Every structure is written in C-alpha cells, then in structure tokens.
Structure 1
C-alpha cells in the first residue's frame, strides 16, 4: 500500500436496494391502424409505439371510426377519450407494402374543382391525370390532395394548372387493404432475417421501451381461439422472465345468449390462469366496443387510484357504457342472477344493478377448474405478476456479484422493507422474505444459484357480504321498564 499521512474517507454500496418502479397495468394492444392517414405510413408497422395522449396516437397511427377495419382505433378511443388512461403501447400489423390493392384509371368527376375519394389511398402512389393526357399532372402545381376530418381524400384542382378546365380526372393509386390482414398477421413470428412481427414482438417491449407489459389485448382479434391461445402463451413467458394477464373476448356471433358462453369458453380453451374472458360487448351511444377494451380502461383507472399497485379487483367499477349488446348491436339484458352465473363460470361481464353500469366479475378464465387464489382471482394474479417484475428488475443489478452473506442480507432486507411498506399501506395483508437452507443445497450454491422465498398475501376481493338478521325477543322487556 502506498504511504499516506493524514485523514481520508471511502464508501461502500448502500446495504439496501431501492425498488424499481414498474407500470403494473401497461397495456400492449395488437391490431390494425389507418396508417395511410399519417405522414409516414410505414413508420410504425410491426413496431411498438408508446403513446401518452390522443394527439400523439393519432399522429403516429391515424384514426378512423371504422373500428372493424382499424381495430387499434377502438382501444385508442376508449383509453384516451372514455377512461383518460395512459400510457398505452400500440402494435400495428397492417403493412401498406403488402396489405394493399391497386387501382388504375379510376374516373372521378370534379365538382367545383374538387372531388372526394373514399378509398384509403397511399398518397405516395397517387397519380392524377386528365382524360386527354397520358402523363400525370404535378401535385402542388396542377392539383392538391389532402385528408379531411372524416378521413376522406379530397383532390382539388389548382387554378391555372393543366387540370383547370377538366370535368373528370383519372386516378392511379395503391390503397391499404385492412381486409387482407388475418389472424396469422396478429400472431406473427420471426423470419430468418431476424424480422419480428405480431405477438412475437411482446419479447421486444422491455428492451425497446424499458417497460414491462402488464396487459396484452387485441380487441377484434382475441375472440379467435388461435390468437387467444398465442396471446396467453406469450404472456406467460415474456422474454423468458416476466408474465402478465391477457384480455380476451367471447365471440358474440357464436355465443349470442349468456347460456351459450360457458360451452363456447370451454370448447375453445379460454381457461388460462392469466386470461380474463369477457362477454358480451359494450355500447356507448352509437358505438359498440369489445368488453375487453373497457376492462382495460377500468384497470388503468383503478391502478392509477392505488399508486400503480394492482391489488384491487376491476370488478364493480364504473363502465363508460349505455348498455350491453352483441357485436351486431343486438341488445343484451342481464339480471344479477344471470351475471353471477357468468362470474361462476370464469367470465367477466357488465351489470346495471346499483349505481349505473358496472364491470362484474373477479375470476380469471381458469375458474372454476382452478381455485388457487393466486390463479383464480384477477387482482391476486396481477399482484403476483407485478411482484415478478419488481423483484427481477430490482435485483438484476446484483447479478454476478460475490455470493456472500452481505449479498443475501441486501436482498432479503431490501425486499422485506419494500413488502412491509405495502402491508402498511393496506396493499397486502402480510409478507415476509426468507433465505432457507432447505431450498439452497450446496450443489446449487457451488454453481452460484440462490433462492429467496417471498411469502405474500395480497387481499382477495370481498365478493360476498352476508348480513345476518335476527328478531330479538329480549327487547320485549323494554315494555315493562
């Protein structure tokens, strides 16, 4: 050691590790978007984009009221307009390079020098020419093309240009074709070139956005059993580390009555421990939403009210709804008994019983075949998923550190303090952390493997409250006082 004369100081790492905050209910929604309305239609194709507000989402993906064709718009409208929940991650699988159709020589009549085109035209491919000329006119010099507020393309002739006297013009263009998108595009996969598409992108969310998915949804697609199965499987093993819940819908074209739902659910294997099964659809004014879209919004609202701790059930929370219906708009009316029957079958629904329209149901799709509270109650499943995220991300920084008593105490003490804080705030009934010799054999320690056992008890929902009433005859004595 070099010679030193005087006073000096040094420091060691803090014995406690600050927990990493996670977005417990971060929704990742897969579907199609009207990207032809954006400045760059190819920018967000099979590429996750996180949005914190309506304007940001519309700028990135476009917006259309035709939710059957552009399914992401339903989630966009519900999250930002009805529930004011954010952020949300969108994954658009509509690719204007492949999901398109070409039109040549379409005749359009000009009225007062302009015409409206209803097709979802890709502006970069548009060519406008007169009926007499073979060469296309020049944009900006002979005509302008722009989208109006209804998502319609308006072509306007520029005075003094080559089209100034034209009554009819011919159009050549490519238009996006959302009907060309099918379940295989939502499911996606990875090519030999390393291009990842569809649900396979779930593993990329954390590495690209530094946020772990809390919810996976695909309104308009999740009623397809093949899509739902892949959603469920991917959510159980996100990047080999994390897990989250998936929101899925029962196909209301097949299950038109509440009595049909359980048979459809079991036949199509909508029985995952991490799966929320929803029926029917939700009406808000003239708009029809998938129930899963509203449950996603409710989860965002409830989590935000609880400091982003997902300990509260999304059941019996206000639905931004004016009624329940099938996808075709047929009204659905449920009594409390009928709604409870659906709940007993592991289905979340809606109910107008006391205080307006509310979400109704606490169980995952695994119920009633699985009754383990951490797998059957939605809120408890989410709390365990959240603890997965928090534990992994908090102690990742200690990986490859020297395996010493100090490291073990750092983990157990830090985790104990975090859990005690959750207990003190009422988010858990109790919790403890132990490093057990029985779970850490010498053969594992020699390989640098340790196991920390976390005991935790998040509360279950109080879904049945019984009041016992009795006529007390002893009070007749008061007559003789």
Structure 2
C-alpha cells in the first residue's frame, strides 16, 4: 500500500437509493479553492525575446498573455494563441495557465543565404518565428556581414515577420535592390509527442510538458480544472497521458481533460465512435469532442472553445461547476470536419451524445455546445462518472475539502477534530443545497469504516454523501387528446 500523508479523497460507486440528509452546526468553514484552466502547446516566444519554455505562466488578460508569451493569429503553428483567443477574448474568462513547450534550442530550422528584395531601403523576411539573435545580413552572397543598429534595424511587424530597414549612412544605399539573409526560425513541426507529454528529469529535477500540471497549485495556489492541448490532443498517445494526468494531480487533486477527435480520421460523425473505441478514449475524467470550429477565417479546436465556455458557465454560477456547459452559446460560424463544413441535425448530434461524445449544434438559438456526457458513457453509467457537471462537482468538492482541511493534518485525532470535519463540511453542504448546486449532502464518521487498526495508524476516514443535480437532458411532454373538450360543440 502507498504511504499516505495528508488529505485525499476516495470515491465509491453510487448507491441507489440515497440515504436521507441530516446536518449539524458548524465549527469550521470550508472555503472555495480557486480553479484554473491549463493549456499546453506552442507559443511565439520569439516575439518577447527569451520567452518561457516548459514553465507554467498564469495570465489574467490578453495583453498580459501577449506580453509574456507573444501572440500570433497562426493558431496551427502557435496553439497557445488559440487558447489565449478563446479564453481571454471570445469568452472573456480568466485567468488561464499557459505552458509553452516550443524550445528555440531544439525546435528550429536554419535558413542560409536567402535573397530578399529591397524597396525604399526596406526588406521583409516572409517567415514567422525568425530568431533575431541568429539573423545575418549581407548585401551579396559571400559578402561582409552588415552590422545591426549601424547598417540596419530589424524588428517584427504586426504579423510577426521581420522587417529590415536601412540606417542612413550605412551599407544599404538607394542602389541596393536585394539582401542576402541567413537565420534560424522556430519550427513547431519539430515538436514531438514526447515534447508535449514531457516528464520529470531525475537528474535536473525539472518537469516538462504535461507533467507541469503538477506545478500549477504549488506555484499559484490554484487547482487545475480543465486541461487542454489544442491540436495535440488529437494524437491518441497525448490524449491518453492527458486523461491519466488529471486523475492524480499532486497526488490528491482531480480535473478534467478536454480532448479533440481527429476529423481527418473520423471525417464523418458516424466514424467518431469507432475512433473513440480504437484509441481507448473512454474515461470519466475525459470529455471528447467531435468537430472543429470556424469563426470568420479562423479555425479553432472545439476543446478550446468548450473549455472557455465551461469556465464562463462556472463564473456565471459563483464558480460552482454544477451547471452543464451543454446548450450554452458558442462563438462560431460553422462546424468543420476534415476541412469541410458540417450541418448536424439534432438526431445526429444525439447519436454522438449517446456514445459519450460532445459536439456543436446549430438548431435552436444559434450555435450551442451539445452534450452532457463524459467519454466514460455509455460503458460507465454511474451518474457521478457519466455526467460532465456531476463529475466536475465531485472533482470540485473533493479539491475544496482537501485544501480546506489540509491545515488539520497531524492535529491530534480526537473527538474535537472529527467534529470540526463533520460540522464544517455539513454547513458547506447545506449552503450548496440552498444555492441549488446540490440536492443535498452530508458528511459522517462511520465506525465500521474506521477500524481500530486504522485509527491506531493515524488514518481517519470520513464519508461524504452528496447529490449534485443531473442535467435535465431529456424533457418529455406527454400530449393527449382529451375527448371531454368535445362538449363545447354541444354546449
């Protein structure tokens, strides 16, 4: 058995029917721990000099994200910019933690002796990601290297491309028609699955990639809520690690992984179920999405929109995740699969939902996120595992209790301590019930679950009963012809 020191939670299968509720007076207060979405991917850090690599960065505004990590509209190359755009602009939710794995030391391509034209003593390099400290400028092949800030200046334009401008009296004159440049540029195509997955280096003590989700709480005192990796989560190996990591953050916390289905493989909705099965994506801690999002001329991954929408829904409900993000408005113009626009009917979207897959539906009220089920459904029908808002509530309640009672670890195990746990939790549960976030909840200390051997060994086991409200997913209106109304004809 693993040695445990601290506070943790263990879930048991749902019992039907549930035991009636009772409550007690409070002696301590259970707080609400801040939750935060986490995105792992690539950022245009060349725009901010020596930008952070494999380091969690907390940002609270778009301007802050742009200042710390750079920003580009090229989402396919710089995937964290998609997360910035969806969270901080489209849905206006913050903060978000961004983890960039694009490393200028290894994810780069060298370009030698490229000729670029000069007009009005200016020349542009038609390549994003140019690393300015590697730029070499000559007036001819094999010529003398020009001196920066003496012969020319080099800056990024609004599109992130380098513009070289002549300095008066320098080597670039009115008669110069071309320049020869050599440089290195960031190349996200060289980012591998292993770079995203990352790990822990026992020699250096440093973590990389998805492993850095464990650094979020120690660094920011915020518990990860949803983990996304736009573009990269379409790779089954990465998706598998994502759903594993969110189950055991820092050994105690739990979150959800939002994962995209690769629509180049599952190019029609009926293939999504086979894709899910073939890639072993059924998991209560994962939510699976089919289809990409189009807005204007931009293409997004549905997972990044869904994560931002989920955070927006939480913020509209006192940051309590009991309301499903399904049937909430998405900021989009079209649903895309394998580059083609798709118009799903309600019955087709329901087919995906019935197989534990969420999509987008333009049916009534504009574009909506459509689906309440985690990817564990229909293999796992336990209500706490099958419904997204209930799964998230179990995560959230467990995370809150861990943080709230952590300061009691190593206190004397006596009646007063047990009462503090029970009374504080019950008052909090009653408050959640009054808010409508649960149908009821209570905490008990049961002798049969606390044998003498465990108590002697310093182990205390509390039993939390709660029932977050399931979403009203299937509303059936019974319509009947009432023959009694025929009496109006003879009245």
Q: Smaller-chain TM-score range? A: over 0.9
- Relative to the length of structure 1, the TM-score reads 0.93
**Which of 238, 253, 260 is residue 271 of structure 2 equivalent to?**
260
Hey, what does 1:102 align to over in structure 2?
A: 110
2:99 counterpart of 1:88: no
Hey, what does 1:78 align to over in structure 2?
A: 86
Answer yes or no: is the 8 Å Cα contact 1:17–1:394 preserved in 2: no
2:160 counterpart of 1:129: no
2:289 counterpart of 1:281: no
Q: Deviations over 1:226-250 (max 9, x none)?
A: 0000000011111110111100011
**Tell me, which stretches of 5 or more residues in structure 1 are unaligned?**
1-13
**Which of 308, 317, 332 is residue 306 of structure 1 equivalent to?**
317
For 1:282 and 1:131, the matched residues in 2 are separated by 46
**Which of 456, 462, 475 is residue 472 of structure 2 equivalent to?**
462
Out of 429-438 and 70-79, give the one that drifted further.
70-79
Hey, what does 2:148 align to over in structure 1?
A: 139
- Relative to the length of structure 2, the TM-score reads 0.91
2:298 counterpart of 1:290: no
**Which of 377, 382, 392 is residue 387 of structure 2 equivalent to?**
377
Answer yes or no: is the 8 Å Cα contact 2:268–2:337 preserved in 1: no
For 1:15 and 1:368, the matched residues in 2 are separated by 40
Hey, what does 1:325 align to over in structure 2?
A: 336
**Which of 60, 66, 87 is residue 58 of structure 1 equivalent to?**
66
RMSD of Structure 2 on Structure 1 (CA): 1.6
Q: Larger RCO: Structure 1 or Structure 2 (Cα < 8 Å, ≥ 6 residues apart)?
A: 2
Hey, what does 1:27 align to over in structure 2?
A: 37
For 1:69 and 1:133, the matched residues in 2 are separated by 32
SS at 1:248 equivalent: strand
Hey, what does 1:38 align to over in structure 2?
A: 48
Q: Deviations over 1:105-141 (max 9, x none)?
A: 3332211101001222111222223338854332222
For 2:378 and 2:61, the matched residues in 1 are separated by 38
For 1:231 and 1:57, the matched residues in 2 are separated by 23
Question: How much does 1:36 deviate?
Answer: 1.1
Hey, what does 1:428 align to over in structure 2?
A: 438
For 1:293 and 1:22, the matched residues in 2 are separated by 23
Hey, what does 2:10 align to over in structure 1?
A: none
SS at 1:228 equivalent: helix
Q: Deviations over 1:290-334 (max 9, x none)?
A: 111111121011001000000011111111111111142x01111
For 1:233 and 1:302, the matched residues in 2 are separated by 25
Answer yes or no: is the 8 Å Cα contact 1:85–1:297 preserved in 2: yes
2:219 counterpart of 1:246: no
Question: How much does 1:478 deviate?
Answer: 4.8
| Cα separation, partners in 2 of 1:133 and 1:331, compared to 1, 3 Å | closer
2:390 counterpart of 1:390: no
Q: Deviations over 1:54-85 (max 9, x none)?
A: 11111111112221111111111111221111
Q: Deviations over 1:4-23 (max 9, x none)?
A: xxxxxxxxxx9733323223
**Tell me, which stretches of 5 or more residues in structure 2 are unaligned?**
1-24
SS at 2:165 equivalent: strand
For 1:174 and 1:189, the matched residues in 2 are separated by 27
**Which of 165, 186, 211 is residue 196 of structure 2 equivalent to?**
186
Answer yes or no: is the 8 Å Cα contact 2:26–2:426 preserved in 1: no
Answer yes or no: is the 8 Å Cα contact 1:324–1:331 preserved in 2: yes
Q: Deviations over 1:330-382 (max 9, x none)?
A: 01111111110110000001111111111110000010010000000000000
Hey, what does 1:196 align to over in structure 2?
A: 207
Q: Deviations over 1:182-229 (max 9, x none)?
A: 211100112222221101111111111111100000010111110000
**Which of 113, 118, 135 is residue 121 of structure 2 equivalent to?**
113
SS at 1:203 equivalent: helix
Answer yes or no: is the 8 Å Cα contact 1:83–1:301 preserved in 2: yes
SS at 2:361 equivalent: strand
SS at 2:232 equivalent: coil
Out of 225-234 and 191-200, give the one that drifted further.
191-200
Hey, what does 1:47 align to over in structure 2?
A: 55
